[in-house]
Structure 1
């Protein structure tokens, strides 16, 4: 007689460790150690800030009272900046649609096409917009066309990626039904895909509009017209009263765009009020309700803004064709790469750039955790406190990082300290929002269970809220590190340390081969950090 053996007790089997989890944890700890070392090596400490107190007082005395230009000039500069930013965002959005269709796994016609589209997205993100502005300035000279092309092509890196992610997350049901009915690939895209991703597309474009408005300040230092160029001209002549006044105008515009973007998005997509289900036999054409009036009005206003921006940006077909005719000669100036005898110096400054990014990410994380926690409605002691700190995050996000870098250069002097402090404070604008959103998205049931046992607010926060949001925190920090590395390259334009100074200086003395070398070095580091961040997020998720 055969005896049956009892099955193994699976409940006592320990879960297998995730492949690569230990290595990813060690790499993450190594990055943390490198960030701490960067803070120490750059000499970012309380003593440095105390020593800069006198400079800060002197800077405030030289910047006040603010000297605003005449209202006519101010409106002209603001209108030109907004027109360039809108046109650049529109260009990026239009270019990103086909790129995203080829990059998305479920709509790409073949694997090589998908790989090529993804590579194009990475390339667009990795090449600094300032470098594109330098290239287009050589082709087209002064004017809005340089800024539109530089910001527009660079924005494809972000918009294209987010568009592709949105396409991959659609419900395949409508598309499958259209294909089953004999619809072609284009019909499937137009009728089965685009209606689902339109809300995400609009939200992404509006978010990029806000980013490009801040980027326009940076591009002003390389000849792009508008408020950025006016700020650069004022600061070059040490006219801090006019420069900071113009920076304040940019801040107000950034905050207004951030606030209005949500309203515009809801108006364009018709989600301000919930649509009621139509009864059977009702007319197909919906009635002119307040919802429909706002929706239609939003579309009309958006169309008018686009038309006005195209006219206000100063775009010229003659300028375009004249610049394209010189394309070959301009590209020849940038190739082959040259070092100009500065390779050791460039490598040293590249290390400083990485240090600035690491130190800024650590500082930004330390500042964003308490601010973001107090901005989350399930953590803040009251709704008023949450709203106040949401306002703080919004205010910080409205200040261009280059302006922060200029202020810290005046206070702490030239070098990496100013760059790290500027990016660290600027990181609160994004990290604080992401931290608050992550804390609000946790499972509230676990928090309520702990409260039912008599746990205090602090105990609930550390025992239930933080553990759930910790993986998201890690992903946000890695994303911020990637962002700070790109930004640190540019802050050298105003003396905030790193390789950016040599990038700008090489362009000024027409050593464009050196510009290419700087771009290639920066591209290699940015790509390495991005691949590393993607791997860590994938393993630890």
Structure 2
């Protein structure tokens, strides 16, 4: 009998710990119970959705075909550029403060435990407050327009990007930083010459990701008076001009696809081995 024809030995089943099985069933039961509670609390009803098909059909009938008049397309294109600028400035203007807070919130380089805890608390607060709430606050302060949208994105983005960058710095290779410390380098020198260069592609990749998110968020901010094409969409809905609303949405779709493709190209150039 050849080696290939030899009968395979049966692998004995892995013994299962009864305690692990019980814990697994308990976790599964808790997950199911939480979903049942969430289902009831949110009043999910597929029957109500099926009964509302007539209203949705009427809405789509009024929106299709979209209004493709040159004047409306020009207005929509200009407003979409404003939305893009809001997302861009909301991302780039938050970089300096995000970087400072990230360095203070990284456990491996934070100067003291209390500094680490306070900085983390600040980042948590900025993340916890939605950008729409920030926009409403800044609208009352500086009035309607794109400016409060930029301020809202900066405030919220500092919290999100500061946390992401801090975690990236904590996961950096400790070798170069340790070598610099042993040579007598200070914290700023270690951060500038060891930590930041080693994780720069990851930091830029996260920045581009936040830029994608902020462009979409700036669209929502326009619904609360922060300018951009979101304001035009809200205005079209209030005036029951659903064909114009669909035109604005199609322009937004083109904008989002263009931003996604641009970000993907930049990320591939930063990490060519992952392409």
Preserved CA contact (<8 Å) 1:147 1:219: yes
Alignment of 1:304-319 (within 5 A): none
Deviation at 1:116, TM superposition (A): 1.0
- Deviation readout 1:360-381 (Å, 9 max, x if unpaired): xxxxxxxxxxxxxxxxxxxxxx
The alignment status of 1:250 with 2:249, answered yes or no, reads no
The alignment status of 1:32 with 2:35, answered yes or no, reads yes
- Which residue of 223, 226, 233 maps to 1:224? 226
Unpaired runs of 5+ residues, structure 2, are 1-13
Q: Which residue of 1 aligns with 2:130?
A: 128
Deviation at 1:15, TM superposition (A): 9.1
Preserved CA contact (<8 Å) 2:103 2:109: yes
- Deviation readout 1:257-283 (Å, 9 max, x if unpaired): 22221111233x2x4379xxxxxxxxx
Note closer, same or farther for the CA distance 1:144–1:43 as it changes in structure 2 (3 Å cut).
closer
Alignment of 1:67-106 (within 5 A): 67-68=67-68, 70=71, 71-106=73-108
Give TM-score, length-normalised by structure 1: 0.45
Q: Tell me, what secondary structure is at the counterpart of 1:163?
A: helix
Deviation at 1:27, TM superposition (A): 4.3
Deviation at 1:144, TM superposition (A): 2.3
- Which residue of 146, 149, 152 maps to 2:151? 149
Distance 1:273 1:170 in 2: 19
Unpaired runs of 5+ residues, structure 1, are 1-10, 275-541
Note closer, same or farther for the CA distance 1:17–1:49 as it changes in structure 2 (3 Å cut).
closer
Q: Which residue of 1 aligns with 2:263?
A: 261
Q: Alignment length, in residue pairs?
A: 258
Note closer, same or farther for the CA distance 1:111–1:79 as it changes in structure 2 (3 Å cut).
same
Alignment of 1:1-400 (within 5 A): 14=17, 27-38=30-41, 42-45=43-46, 47-68=47-68, 70=71, 71-267=73-269, 269=270, 271-272=271-272
Deviation at 1:114, TM superposition (A): 0.9
Distance 1:51 1:33 in 2: 23
Deviation at 1:153, TM superposition (A): 0.8
Distance 1:155 1:24 in 2: 35
Higher RCO by CA contacts (8 Å cutoff, separation 6 or greater) = 2
Distance 1:140 1:185 in 2: 39
Preserved CA contact (<8 Å) 2:83 2:219: no
Question: Which ranges of 4 or more aligned residues in structure 1 deviate by more than 4 Å?
Answer: 11-18, 20-27
Deviation at 1:251, TM superposition (A): 1.9
Distance 1:250 1:25 in 2: 41
Preserved CA contact (<8 Å) 1:217 1:231: no
Distance 1:13 1:212 in 2: 48
Deviation at 1:170, TM superposition (A): 0.6
Preserved CA contact (<8 Å) 1:100 1:163: yes
Preserved CA contact (<8 Å) 2:126 2:159: yes
Distance 2:28 2:169 in 1: 31
Deviation at 1:138, TM superposition (A): 1.5
- Deviation readout 1:113-138 (Å, 9 max, x if unpaired): 11111111211111121111111112
Alpha carbon RMSD of aligned pairs, Å?
2.6
Preserved CA contact (<8 Å) 1:67 1:245: yes
Distance 1:49 1:73 in 2: 35
Distance 2:254 2:223 in 1: 20
Q: Tell me, what secondary structure is at the counterpart of 2:67?
A: coil
Deviation at 1:179, TM superposition (A): 1.4
- Deviation readout 1:23-61 (Å, 9 max, x if unpaired): 76554343222133346xx1421x323212211221111
Q: Tell me, what secondary structure is at the counterpart of 2:185?
A: coil
Note closer, same or farther for the CA distance 1:150–1:184 as it changes in structure 2 (3 Å cut).
same
